[in-house]
Structure 1
Amino acid sequence: MTVVRAQGNGRTKRRRVPRSLIKVLSPLALVGFWQLASSEGWLSDNTLASPSRVVAKAGELLDSGELQSAIVASAGRVGLGLLFGLSAAVVFAVVSGLFRWGEDIVDAPIQMLRTIPVVGLIPLLIIWFGIGEEPKIILISLGVFFPLYLNLFAGIRGTDPGLVEAGRTVGLSRWGQTVHVILPAAMPSALVGLRYSIGVSWLILVFAETINATSGIGFLINQARDFYETDTIVLCLVLYAVLGLLADLLVRLLERVLLSWRPTFATR
């Protein structure tokens, strides 16, 4: 509801519902309607379990310890995939972004490889590395590599030439320009790529955990599918979303630390 209040100067001031409140109320309203539809029989539990059943299932899995083990296993795979994929992306982006010979050698093959669907590599990864943890981590690493590489490369190449010239004027060496000018200027683009990579990592994890997984959130989903347990499936999907949002929140906090020198962040 909008309330209009008259001011002495003839203007009106509108008091609106806070946006933060709307962001909270809209998902709660959706969950409430979902529960109502289940309670009234409009939505069968065999089609989609009610929120109350999902919460009850979460309690059961927490009591048995299965939920904690699944979260730890999936988070470990994502963590290792991010470590290897992001490290490689930084190295290749810096080499191809700073050096013309690096672009000639590195960028063209990467631009070609990024058009290949990562999940399409699953059969080859199974043939090469078996059905253990290796293909899962490699799949996640490949998925997170390209978003960070592309954004960091673009950030390095998009550095303002005036800043580079200013660094040269004050006597900075090539290494000094890279550390104090080029990489800080590319940091916003790199953090955008990092956010994309983290989002992709959880999406790829869903496919990765179909490779003979014996633990993890994907393992719970595969088990639940066989027994038509929609409450477990919905719970696992919610877990994927929550873990992804928490990871994104960490990147946002990192942005505030690393980009505190930018006016857009300093005024927040």
Structure 2
Amino acid sequence: MPDVLAEAVAPPLAGGATAPSAGSPPPVQDREGLVDAASLSRPRRTLVRLPRPVRRLAGPLLVVLTWQLLGTFGIVNDRVLAPPSAVLSAAWELGRTGELADHLLASLTRVVSGLSIGVSAGVVLAVVAGLFRLGDELVDSTMQVLRALPVLGLLPLVIIWFGVGETPKIALVAFGTAFPVYVNTYAAIRGVDNRLVESARTVGLGRLGLVRHVILPGAVPGFLVGLRFALTGAWLVMIIAEQLNATNGIGYLMNQAQSWYRTDIIVLGLLIYGLLGLTADGLVRLLERRLLAWRRGFEGGA
């Protein structure tokens, strides 16, 4: 009875807490207030944080696993979409005979040649339009008109101009990759902070020094963004270009597989295109980290 009366008349503590009753563990004082000692004795759960590459691979691996299960249980017919095991078998078969390497080398040669021409043309035109007022008036409007043209719609005209050999395929890749580089590089040149330009002029830099030490370094991030788009666009154009009037290449291999309903080879070709694009994007990212080591941007939250 006295204990009950003592609890009834006990004044409330700060924050609305009540005084501990007899036999309960003593409260522990921390920075926030009173904390139950029993809660402190419970073990805390620690989450094991996986490395970022492992977490990035979790999504694709889940897709591949689901894809394989759909084929294994017959939910998806092999003639509609071959499972990953059949795709790997086709890759082993073509790789063992050397046929896959020959087609891959032909596609890489065309893409590298087209990219070299397209990227070079895009950079030169962007510098001319970005640095000179007359170049802006003459070049930029023309490039904006040409950029609106569908690349694959030019295929009949390119065949008339260059025939059905390697040249039209390289020309299509060059045409499709020049515009992403031009647009992003031109925007980066015109987007250089004018305060940096005024500061450079204040310290005595001339026109050539201004371009070399301020304008072009400031345009590098935009150029790299355009290069990433150009690498992706090159493979998209090549898929169609190699399926028309070609005798080798990954696109030609996929076109031949279509006649025999070899979806495993078709999917293999698509995966090769995707892996090549991912590798090229990784190389540009590596180049970006080297060239833009001075710039630290937001890398995402936890």
Give the distance between the partners of 1:22 and 1:259, measured in 2 at CA: 26
One-letter code aligned to 1:49: A
Matched, 1:15 2:52: no
Counterpart secondary structure, 1:264: coil
Matched, 1:29 2:62: yes
Deviation of 1:208 after TM superposition, in Å, equals 1.2
Normalised by the size of structure 1, how large is the TM-score?
A: 0.92
Where does residue 117 of structure 1 map in the other structure? Answer: 150
**Higher gyration radius (CA):** 2
Check the 8 A contact 1:256/1:265 in 2, yes or no: no
Matched, 1:82 2:123: no
1:96-115: CA deviations, max 9, x gaps? 00000001111111111111
Where does residue 170 of structure 2 map in the other structure? Answer: 137
Check the 8 A contact 1:217/1:236 in 2, yes or no: yes
Give the distance between the partners of 1:255 and 1:43, measured in 2 at CA: 42
Map 1:177-256 to 2 at 5 A.
177-256=210-289
Counterpart secondary structure, 1:93: helix
Deviation of 1:13 after TM superposition, in Å, equals 8.2
Give the distance between the partners of 2:236 and 2:59, measured in 1 at CA: 25
Give the distance between the partners of 1:264 and 1:132, measured in 2 at CA: 45
Give the distance between the partners of 1:259 and 1:110, measured in 2 at CA: 28
1:127-156: CA deviations, max 9, x gaps? 111100010000000000101100000000
Give the distance between the partners of 1:263 and 1:31, measured in 2 at CA: 35
Number of aligned residues: 259
Q: Percent identity of the aligned residues? A: 51
Inter-CA distance 103–33: structure 2 relative to 1 (3 Å threshold): same
One-letter code aligned to 1:57: A
Where does residue 292 of structure 2 map in the other structure? Answer: 259
Where does residue 4 of structure 1 map in the other structure? Answer: none
Check the 8 A contact 1:168/1:177 in 2, yes or no: yes
Give the unaligned 5+ runs of structure 1.
Answer: 1-7
RMSD: 1.9
Where does residue 92 of structure 2 map in the other structure? Answer: 59
Normalised by the size of structure 2, how large is the TM-score?
A: 0.82
Which stretch of structure 1 is more off in the superposition, 41-50 or 11-20?
A: 11-20
One-letter code aligned to 1:15: L
With a CA cutoff of 8 Å and minimum separation of 6, indicate the structure with the bigger relative contact order: 1
